Structure 1
């Protein structure tokens, strides 16, 4: 349309240019031809006037086109301006939503890190405990220990690269904010002129994570470090000890007669006794010493910077004296004595495993020699290692001689109290030694590689038993089978499980493979691939003993799992502390949000069950319902429809 108007305009302009000259030529011609004829002259003037009129007419039309074009351009420009204003208004509204109304602290900094703009959340975050942010640098509000980290992140952002970091604010009345900050460079004409920042207050999340970590590495009952924390600290101390000449002593302590007190007076009294023992142990040790609860009535003690066995003997004597004093618990006067085994670094152990093993061995020697004493590990005690070698030799024969059996611990629905499945647990009854603890032979089986053969037998036996349950009308039941680290990493794991399911005709969804969270954390990509293969077969995947390893909630979103089994270490503490109950509730809530089923292990009291029921925990497992039972007793439980 604009092109047509332009063409027409140039045609009119050409005609308008010719007409005046043409009228003059006509007039002049008439004057020259008939200068004496007035009539002829009049005709010439009339023609000139007509031509001049036509010229004016053309000019009027030409001007009209220009006016129309101007009006069109004006209208178009007004539309464009209106659209621009509308777009600008929308852009401003979006900016306000992003900047002003953002729930996190949003701000802009100049190239020197000085605040230029900040939203309400930012003002609220910093002014609540500090001062107005205007004209202050971000560094002014940050803990000095994090200044270098902040400077490094700001410098990288100035170079045009976004950055994220976690830092904390300055201490104010004993309180810190923990912040997760994202820096984004501001470009104008391809130059960085400043940066935007988004700061999220993660203090609550940080504190909860610290609480979870504390629970993972501390005993819920006594508050002492647990075995994992003790071994971690011992490893650190041994690394430091390599650089000095001082010895390190590791003590294994077991309470004599504790089981009798527990059986006679109940677990409540037993727990209170353990708490008092823990207090006394902490009270008689140096600040640098570490005491931990191994489990049950066993404690471990780490004594760094020992000059000799005599120094360790002095502390052991103090422990014997303080623990031999009577205990007054619930109107009962109680008496327990300790048996202590001591292993010295570097003479009788240079690593965590060897020192712990030798101290444990010395403790059993102390018990055998009359209890209520301490004994140092000696070379003569290593003869006891022969028993370990003996067990190694007996393992392979045990399978051939049918010395292994499986027991099954029921898992029940928390609300209906009906059995939904069983966990298969291996037992070894030796013809001479009697019952051998899994804690003894499973590590040996892993070390020797026998765990693959034993694990295959456990898997096949458990699947055959589950198939029998299904054939008898209990088709809803599933069976849980634990996989060790060695088994999980075996090259033929997937094909072995597939073959067993095919041969036993057990539905894949009835098999629940249980792995520890340490397996999941340590390998990442290879673990995910193998778990996905298992899930593609229809097999259920459970994370066993959650909370006893790394206790990272984040990895739960990365791994293809169906069920989370909360470790008994967490469960035994839920009635002792509101904080621990809150942590358990958070774990259950998170699992629900991730569509994971939850099984609580080690449930032993009605109070624990009631709490788990209130928190909508799916299933429970523990002595409150039943101890592990033989396959024969499984049938009795099923047919009696036993409930909690």
Structure 2
């Protein structure tokens, strides 16, 4: 299962290199035996008086062995056979030495070193042993059968010294071969350790995303793949509650459940954070959805950890090779798009990549690029929705909302481009521009009407995490002359809950300067009451989800009443937004809800229109706006 890894590729390439080298050695041995055999045979024919009948098979054997060596060197997968064929050369050595013993005994003995060098070149301990044995046999024959006059000339000591020298050379060769082999084993060991570090998750002991990408690219050459990404929802909150060690234990339990339920042959890996990756080769198309649904059902069952039950939620995004791409990069990208859509659809959702999703994704990419190319002053403008105090029925402030009119794409919904801006980081310069523009326009309006108007501005958690965020806000207020206590920064529950302690400290620093903090869409998150324990706020905003048909929906009435009562107990201002009907407005008058906003009172409008509204008599301003709410108003 690890043929895709670099370590195995290294071993494969090393073995391939050895195979090619062994093949070349075989070619050299083969041609040497062929040429040597023909020359040896020709020499025997020319010196037939000296040659006995029993010696003729020697050159013939060399030729046969040469042809065999050449044939074996060309065969694929014969790496284990080649050394055995090459070893046959050592059997011929004593016979060759014996033939030349009378005429070339003083030089032919050096042939032993050629065999020794060949064994060392091939790093073969077996060939080294054969070389030593055959050479010692040959040298012994030389010592015992050499002509007497040669023996007298050289002395018996010379032959012994030759054997000693060759023995020393053999020992050195053996040490060298063993040393190379040991170093190679050590190299493989450390490469394997490095591979484990690079390609395995240290705690879960399963492949990581780098290994997963290699596996996918390797398998795509031979198989169709279903690639899926599974992510644990609200991982940061789980981590905050459980801590590092217990979160790891929980992820281990998730891994074990996945291994029990995923389809046979699925390659499981750990992605970033709480993401798991899976690749199933040669899948059954009609079983795709059912298998992933079974995984979700199994994963969402309670987890017993340290005596407590934990309920987890997941989402899955899946992509298929072929329609969604033919590389790990393409499949991972489309699986991520599907996962993003699954998270938008809710919890425990499975989404497969589709042409519609790809089209939507391409549109997001186009918008993302257009954001960075946009001219803020000419393409963007701020509109304002009045916020009404129920007790006096007067406009006490406005909420700034951004609008984007692209030259080619036209009006683009904030619900689309704000999320994209948060993903690509453009929300930082855009948010600064909105704050500065809104503060300047509302300050000019306040000066014009002769009374201070409050301003609410939405701020992303991405902005809060920027270094110098607090200083930047205060600098803008100082430059424009906007009083801090007139500014209200709206944050979502998600941005408050997922922020780090140092980011929450920034919010406290803003409050310390008089800036008010409001929680937008209160009650829609996963820990609304937990928010109030983490950070001090001044206002909570009840979303349209609870206000819609609140006059007739008893569940909505209970929720809104509870939130309003809780705000009163915490001494917080309660604002209900999204009021679109008279009946909804009348119901809110009965509660402890200080402020409202919505289309029933006024649609978002440019600053000039807001100025016209504020110029009306205070007693009739709201009724006048409400009466004309169906008229064409800039959005």
TM over 0.5, yes or no?
A: no
Q: Which has the higher strand share?
A: 1
Structure with bigger helix share is 2
**TM-score interval for Structure 1 and Structure 2 normalised by the shorter chain:** 0.3 to 0.5
